[in-house]
Each structure stands twice: as structure tokens, then as C-alpha cells.
């Protein structure tokens, strides 16, 4: 049986590799809107993915040439294949799944990738796109796999591995601070379970501080090596500034005390208002509001606000690129500080709209029909979870299902606070949601079969 199991796991790994490598060579390396900023190692980008691409570029140069972006896609595809396989094989061990049930678990991340490729009309999967999602979507699955192993088996090695993966993801994209929150929650939950709450809280704090310090050193060290100054990456505050512009009225500009920032606000605001980008131009109910916000978010930030502030700073101030980018951040912060106290009720309303939208895009695409489907699938999830809790209490399946819900809430909350919830930002939990749902189906079916067997004996 052990030999058969090895063959089965090898077969699953082979299928996963064939799937992702097929699309890697079929579509090739896909350049997206954000790709040049990673390739060009912009100051606004976190260090890891830029360094990853630069290392592959240097490797191909030393080896006499070659398409380093295609090499990146191959590595990303192997990572995606390994992540889907590794999580499935570990869950097979925890829940005693059959080969077919394990194949379904592994097939769910593959199906999510297909949805990105075809249903979302991206013309590519994240594994063959030159984006941070090319590695972080897969790493999120691996992070979950090792975090679960830490919780179920109290494995310190798995905790260290999960923390290391969290650091890599945070150093790739700021959204992945979500993993730091999840890491601390699971550490504390495991400590409470072992009746060592005090030690677990301390361990969570130490782990979080270690990751934050390491990320800071990576960020500043990278920028020192690439840009000549030990500075952190820039432009983080542009996301909140975009939301402030979207929800503001022109009269809110009077709240900005700094004259320079106030002039820029009016200049940017008038363009956005004239083009219909702002919240008061949204028509219809909830669906209309979230659609309007998603349609015009980039128009405010990328097409109007960011270029205007950068152009002003470069025309008005002298200095190197790092100093000028820091000045852009400073002016943006002044705008936020002035606007936020007056617009926060509307910002909260925007957050609530986006949060509901994020729940939908975590499990499906946002459309009138699929919104109904999303409600039904969440209801099914909660019903099965309730039945599992009633039958087995806080079992392994219940913990995993609850963990996925917590992960969804945290991720959607973080994204909703600063940007619109497109699938690109919520796909991290899509495979986990359906895997947890599948495991709840499997566990509840086993319980039903067990009860039927008892009745037949009686």
C-alpha cells in the first residue's frame, strides 16, 4: 500500500506539473500593465519579485543569453504545481482522503487558474504572468499548508517555514501583510488549545516583529543597492489617497491646511469630477456603486492623481529620484491628513460596499447571476460547517473551515479599505474556500454513512 501511495502521489504531481507547464509554453511570458515596474525595479515596488527577475536576467546573461522572463514563468509554473500538490497531499494525510478525493483537492487550485485564464478573460494565468501574483498566489497555498501543519502537529519547523514564506510574500506585495495577521492568530489559537496562552502570545509577537524587521532590512538594503539610498519603497499612501479623492466633495479641499497640497487637490479633483470618476457620479444601488468604483479607481490614481503630483514635484523641486519620490509621498500624506477627517463616513460606506463585493469575487465573478450563486454557496458552507460542529465539535475539518473564513474576512477587509476588490486581489482564498467546502462535504457524507451503517446493524 505504501508503494501504491507513492505512485499515486507521483501521478498527482506529474499531472499538476503537466497542467501548469503546458500553459507556460502555450501562452509564454505574459506582460501586463504592472510588469514594467517590476522589470524596471521601480522604487514604488517591493524588493523580492524585482530581485527575482533581476537575478534571472543576470543568470541568463552570464549563461550567454536566453529569455529570462520565460525562465521566470517556468519557475512560477513549477511553484504553482508544487503548491497545489503539496497542499492536497498534506490534507490527504490529515483527513484520510482517497486518491480520488485528493485529486479533487488538487484540482481545485488548477480550476481556479483556468477561471483566470478563460472566465476572467485575462488570456493568461497568474503563473505565467510577470506579476507578483505569479509567485504569491502559489506561496499563499504553501503558507496555509505549513501553517496547518504547525497547528495540527505542533511542528516548529513548519512554523518557521510558514514565517519564511510570509516574509517572502510581504517583501513581494504589501497586501500579504494578511499572512502576518493569520500567522499570529494561528499561533495564539494553538497556544490557547495547548493551555499556554501567555507563551503563545509572546511567540506571536516575537514572530511578527522578526518578520517586520527582516522585511525592513530587505527593503532598505535593496533600495540602497539599486537606487543608492537606504530608503523604504515609495507610494504606499497613494491607495488611501485615491479613496479619499473618490469620496470627497470639492468643498472638502478647504480642510487641507497646506497651500501646496490644497492647490494640487483642486487641480486633480476638478479633472476627476469633470470626467465622472467620483462617488457622487455613481448611479444605481450597491451593484452600480461597486462597479463605478472599480471602473474609475485606476482613472483617478494612475491616470490623474499620481502623474499630477509627480509632475508637480519634478517641476518644483530638485534632487535624485528617491528624494523626489519621498516628496511625492509627503504631499500625498498632507492631502490625506486634510481630507480624511471629513470624508471618513463616506470612506466607510465605500469600504462596506467593497467588502460585500470582495466576498463575491472570492468565490465567483461579480455579476447579477453569480451574486445569487455566491450567497447560496456561502449558505451551503455555513450549513455544512454547522453540521460538522454539531457532530464532531472543534475537529480538524472545522478548524480548517473556520480558518478559511477568517482568512477571507481579513483579506477582503484589507483590500476593501484601500482598493476595489477585483479577482486579482481576492483569488488567494478562492481555492481554499472550495477545498474547505469539499472537505466538509466529504466529512458530512462519512458521518451520514456511519449513521446509516449503525441503523442497519440495529
Confidence of residue 2 (pLDDT cuts 50, 70, 90): confident
Rounded Cα–Cα distance for residues 360 and 287 (Å): 11
The answer to whether residue 419 is domain-embedded is: no
Q: What pLDDT sits at residue 43?
A: 94
Interatomic CA distance for residues 38 and 44, integer angstroms: 9
Q: How many residues does the chain have?
A: 458
Whether 340 is in a domain gets the answer yes
In Å, what is the CA distance from 360 to each residue of 155, 279, 369?
34, 21, 11
Q: What is the pLDDT of residue 102?
A: 96
Supply 171's cell numbers. Answer: 517583501
For residue 82, which of 135, 36, 42, 25 has the smallest C-alpha distance?
Answer: 135
Least confident of 145-149, 282-286, 450-454: 450-454
In which band, very low, low, confident or very high, does the pLDDT at 367 lie, cut at 50, 70 and 90?
confident
d(CA 140, CA 121): 23
Q: In the 8-state DSSP scheme, what is residue 427?
A: G
> How many Cβ atoms from other residues are within 10 Å of residue 442's Cβ?
18
Structure confidence at residue 449 as a pLDDT band (50, 70, 90): confident
Q: Which three cell numbers stand for residue 90?
A: 498534506
- Which H/E stretch holds residue 58? helix 47-62
In-domain check, residue 208 = no
- Looking at the chain, the number of H-run helices and the number of E-run strands are 18, 0
Q: Burial level of 214, CB count in 10 A (0-12/13-18/19+)?
A: middle
Got the DSSP string for 293-354? HHHHHHHHIIIIIHHHHHHHHHHH--S-HHHHHHHHHHHHHHHHHHHHHHHHHHHHHHHHHH
pLDDT tens profile 185-199 = 999 999 988 888 788
Predicted local confidence at residue 451, as pLDDT: 62
Instruction: Print the domain residue range for 270.
Output: 238-353
Task: Write phi, then psi, for 45 (nearest 5 degrees).
Answer: -100, 145
Q: CA-to-CA distance for 416 and 19, rounded, in angstroms?
A: 33
Give the pLDDT confidence of 289-347 residue by residue, as tens digits.
Answer: 999 999 999 999 999 999 999 999 999 999 999 999 999 999 999 999 999 999 999 99
pLDDT at 457 over 80: no
* Whether pLDDT at 257 is above 80: yes
In a 3-state reduction of DSSP, which class is residue 121? Answer: coil
Kindly tell me if the per-residue pLDDT of 28 is higher than 80: yes
pLDDT at 452: 57
- The answer to whether residue 77 is domain-embedded is no
Q: What is the pLDDT, as a whole number, of residue 407?
A: 98
**DSSP string of 246-275?**
HH--GGGGGG---HHHHHHHHHHHHHHHHH
Report if residue 286 sits inside a domain: yes
| Residue 273 maps to a domain | yes
Which stretch of 14-23, 169-178, 420-429 has the lowest confidence by average pLDDT? 420-429
Closest to 433 in 3D by CA, of 86, 108, 85, 99: 108
Question: How many domains is the chain partitioned into structurally?
Answer: 1
Q: Return the closest-CA partner of residue 38 out of 55, 56, 53, 58.
A: 53
Residue 161 belongs to some domain of the structure:
no
Query: Which phi-psi region, left, alpha or beta, contains residue 155 (left: φ > 0; alpha: ψ -120 to 50)?
Result: beta
Q: In the numeric block, which cell numbers belong to residue 418?
A: 484601500
Residue 96, C-alpha cell as written in the block: 484520510
- pLDDT (tens digit, 9 = 90+) per residue, 57-71? 999 999 988 899 999
Q: Would residue 23 count as lying in a domain?
A: no
Please enumerate, as own/partner, the contacts of 103-108 that have beta carbons within 8 Å and a separation of 24 or more: 103/12, 104/438, 105/435, 105/438, 105/439, 106/12, 106/15, 106/16, 108/431, 108/434, 108/435, 108/438
Is 50 exceeded by the pLDDT of residue 458? Answer: no
pLDDT reading at 1 higher than 60: no
pTM: 0.94
pLDDT of residue 431: 97
Residue 89 and residue 103: Cα distance in Å, rounded? 9
pLDDT of 456 strictly over 70: no
Residue 67 to residue 282: CA distance in whole angstroms: 45
| Cell numbers placing 155 | 511542528
Quote the CA–CA distance of 111 and 240 in Å, as a whole number: 33
Q: Among 43, 77, 79, which residue's Cα sits nearest to residue 168?
A: 79
Instruction: State the chain's mean pLDDT as an integer.
Output: 93
Give yes or no for residue 112 having a pLDDT over 70: yes
The x, y and z cell numbers of residue 447, run together, are: 458521518
Amino acid at each position: 500500500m505504501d508503494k501504491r501511495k507513492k505512485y499515486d502521489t507521483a501521478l498527482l504531481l506529474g499531472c499538476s506539473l503537466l497542467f501548469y507547464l503546458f500553459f507556460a509554453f502555450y501562452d509564454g511570458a505574459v506582460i501586463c500593465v504592472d510588469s514594467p515596474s517590476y522589470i524596471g525595479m521601480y522604487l514604488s515596488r517591493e524588493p523580492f519579485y524585482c530581485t527575482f527577475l533581476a537575478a534571472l536576467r543576470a543568470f541568463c546573461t552570464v549563461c550567454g543569453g536566453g529569455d529570462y522572463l520565460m525562465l521566470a514563468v517556468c519557475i512560477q509554473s513549477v511553484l504553482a504545481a508544487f503548491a497545489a500538490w503539496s497542499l492536497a497531499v498534506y490534507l490527504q494525510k490529515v483527513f484520510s482522503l482517497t486518491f480520488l478525493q485528493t485529486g479533487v483537492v488538487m484540482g481545485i487550485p488548477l480550476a481556479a487558474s483556468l477561471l483566470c485564464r478563460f472566465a476572467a478573460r485575462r488570456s493568461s494565468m497568474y503563473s505565467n504572468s510577470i506579476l507578483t501574483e505569479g509567485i504569491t498566489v502559489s506561496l499563499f497555498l504553501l503558507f496555509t499548508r505549513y501553517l496547518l501543519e504547525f497547528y495540527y502537529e505542533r511542528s516548529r519547523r513548519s512554523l518557521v517555514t510558514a514565517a519564511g514564506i510570509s516574509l517572502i510574500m510581504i517583501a513581494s506585495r504589501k497586501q500579504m501583510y494578511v499572512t502576518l495577521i493569520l500567522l499570529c492568530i494561528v499561533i495564539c489559537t494553538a497556544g490557547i488549545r495547548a493551555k499556554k496562552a501567555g507563551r503563545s502570545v509572546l511567540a506571536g509577537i516575537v514572530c511578527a516583529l522578526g518578520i517586520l524587521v527582516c522585511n525592513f532590512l530587505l527593503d532598505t538594503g535593496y533600495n540602497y543597492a539599486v537606487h543608492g539610498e537606504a530608503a523604504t519603497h515609495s507610494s504606499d499612501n497613494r491607495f488611501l489617497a485615491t479613496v479619499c479623492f473618490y469620496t470627497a466633495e470639492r468643498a472638502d479641499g478647504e480642510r487641507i491646511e497646506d497651500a501646496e497640497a490644497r492647490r494640487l487637490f483642486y487641480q486633480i479633483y476638478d479633472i476627476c469630477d469633470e470626467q465622472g470618476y467620483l462617488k457622487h457620479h455613481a448611479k444605481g444601488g450597491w451593484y452600480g456603486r461597486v462597479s463605478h468604483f472599480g471602473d474609475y479607481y485606476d482613472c483617478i490614481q494612475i491616470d490623474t492623481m499620481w502623474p499630477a503630483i509627480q509632475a508637480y514635484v519634478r517641476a518644483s523641486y530638485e534632487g535624485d529620484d528617491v528624494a523626489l519620490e519621498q516628496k511625492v509621498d509627503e504631499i500625498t500624506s498632507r492631502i490625506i491628513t486634510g481630507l480624511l477627517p471629513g470624508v471618513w463616513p463616506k470612506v466607510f460606506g465605500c469600504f462596506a460596499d467593497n467588502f460585500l463585493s470582495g466576498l463575491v469575487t472570492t468565490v465567483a465573478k461579480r455579476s447579477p447571476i453569480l451574486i445569487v450563486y455566491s450567497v447560496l454557496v456561502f449558505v451551503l458552507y455555513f450549513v455544512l460547517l454547522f453540521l460538522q460542529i454539531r457532530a464532531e465539535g472543534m475537529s480538524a475539518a472545522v478548524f480548517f473551515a473556520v480558518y478559511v473564513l477568517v482568512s477571507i474576512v481579513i483579506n477582503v477587509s484589507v483590500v476593501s479599505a484601500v482598493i476595489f476588490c477585483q479577482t486579482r486581489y481576492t483569488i488567494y482564498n478562492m481555492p481554499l474556500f472550495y477545498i474547505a467546502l469539499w472537505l466538509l462535504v466529504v466529512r458530512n457524507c462519512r458521518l451520514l454513512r456511519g449513521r446509516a451503517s449503525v441503523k442497519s446493524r440495529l
